[in-house]
Structure 1
Amino acid sequence: MKQEANSSTTIQRSLQTARTRFFDGGELPAALLPPLVAQSWQRSRDSGLRPWQAPQYDQTLSCLQYTPADRRLRQCVEQEIEPLWSAFGGTDWTIFCVNPEGVIVHARHNPSSRDSILQPIAAGRRIHESHVGTTAPGCAMHDSAEVIVTGNQHYLEAFACIFCLAMPLFGLDGEVIGALDITGKGQRNAYVLREHFRLAVLSAQQRLFASAMRHCHLLRVQHDPRWLPTPLAGVLAVNDDGQVCAASLEARRLLALPSIGPLPRVDLRQLFVHASQAQQRGLLQLGRPARRIVQADGSHLWVQPVRAPLNRTVPRPPLPRSQQPSPPVADAVSGNLNEQMLLAVRRTLHEHDGNISTASKQLGISRTTFYSKLRQLQQAGLLPTATDGE
């Protein structure tokens, strides 16, 4: 253990020396940095950033400036950040998600932290290599790969005491749509972090997929039926005609589909060409058990329908004019007011990092009423089932 600590110290000192030489035009010693991090050093130097500069975060943006894609990303990823924070958070740590432009769409941190490096990492700020140098989220999104950057592996000297791990998030066409990151002072077990963050990313991607494909049937696929209800399953979106409209990254891998870009035109019969007629008929029938279908290479996949289209409307014949009900003005106003209150509760809770007492005081409502609104948000799927304490 002592030898490992001495070796780590030696590497960190070598990195500190190499950074200065590199900025002066020197070459990086071979194998001193992981390739993805070395490339980020090059991009940081090319942007004119000096290693001794202080990190500069763009001015905070208003939540009103978030795009619909940003808001969808935040809603889906915050349900993963809360349990991650419960397990790995701390005074000198933060867990956050950025969009493809590096803008933080959601961040979880300890409000008592006054650290000059960690405190500015907040929703609305932008993290970019030209302003903060090498970071795990920047590398993860640039190279579509999970990355750990620790200590003097950062280009800026100010981050020499920082550990960060980031995982890219992928969209419907396999494109990078953001990154999930944990950053802090000190060390965490990298192996454990990787496993938990991988599952969190897969779960968030499934939620994003389901949200974006509300007009389609959803099917889950996996080689092992035990993993069908988990984030390890692949997800297919299929229309009523059996055409595959989209596939999650895991489904693309399981079914040997292109890993990036729009899918070629394909339907379920082509995708599962060796399925029996009975199996083919049951693929879009909700409530059917998972079916084991042989693949062209002789392997088997388990396929299970898990959701019918949510946006489907059944046309109804119009009522005679005399039978049409008058518009429920009072109910509509009440519904709108209640919706506004729910959104205010949700927003205020996030602003105060889950502190229910402070949030209820700001809104001027009792904690009993506040808890009632929280339950309504949870039932609507707009808030995780577990909230922070006082």
Structure 2
Amino acid sequence: MKAYLMLENGACFEGQGFGCERDTLCEVVFNSAMCGYTELLTDPSYAGQGVVMAYPLIGNYGICYDDSESIKPWLSAYIVHRISDVASNFRSDVDLNTYLKTNGVPGIQGVDTRAITRILRESGTMRGMIAYGDHVDREAMLKKIHAFQMVSMVPMVSCKETSVYGDGPVKVALIDYGVKNNIIRSLVKRGCTVKRFPHDTSFEELQTFNPDGIMLSNGPGDPKECKKEIAVLKQVMKSGIPTFAICLGHQLMALAHGFDTYKLKYGHRGINHPVKDLSTGKVYITSQNHGYVVDGKTVNPSVADIGFISMNDGSIEGLNYKGGKIFSVQFHPEASPGPLDTGFLFDRFLDLMGGSLL
């Protein structure tokens, strides 16, 4: 079936539908990765977004369920130049088209994704709509796009009840704002028992687990919408419990300390983003997926030091809080997909909690 992608600036691209062919509204963003689409599709941080893949061919190695970062794909739409008709991989469980159709995710292919990416880089992230059919009402599409508003997706992607992973001697309370599975795996393999709590869990309930440390996960959307979560983190930061925060968790901890955040023009999404460790001068290649960052001008140097910065735009990629019990990063040290260069940050967290048996 014919499909159309329209952006809020009126740009319209004609292609062919795949996956679940249903009209959808979303926030359109781009990702620069050449691989790792299974992990991308199942990353809860993409909830509500239509993802444009800058790399032209997607789906050639199929979908392997073992690589999934959550129970299902969360993005609103998938926008590619071309999907592969053949899934050539002995680990493949299903082809990409079937997977998206089964899970209700709309797709469009045959569009110039590099042109779309250039528009988003020059004009910034935009709202958009995908519609299917031989003929569409472009004026009506544009009206729907301008009326569309993103809402907080954290309550949707977070777990609804607690669950426990691993049986190690170090106890970690993980607050799930949209956690990727490999964050949990990274802790379990280092000797942790991880108890996963819903996003709106009270500090008192976290304390009943008597954790050695608290892990704040990644997640979707504007951190300033998470007012109840920020209130809980104000209690966490005063408790003295070692805390490690990633991505959205990093932003929420900054807001809890009185710093500010802002939306990037087009975000950081890909597996090839360089960040610099200011304590050592080393540069690491990282996996990233975020549209908001901590505003460096609001960081109080008596409260926190900037630990990492982006080598692309100089934005904050990590904070080390005074007292040594709390640190956070904007990128994904668990990778999946992406380089494992910064996995040592989990070891640092273990050291704060008293160490691991490994």
TM value normalised by structure 2 = 0.27
- If each structure's strand is expressed as a fraction of its own residues, which one has the higher value? 2
- If each structure's helix is expressed as a fraction of its own residues, which one has the higher value? 1
TM value normalised by structure 1 = 0.25
Q: Quick one: higher RCO (CA 8 Å, sep 6+), 1 or 2? A: 2
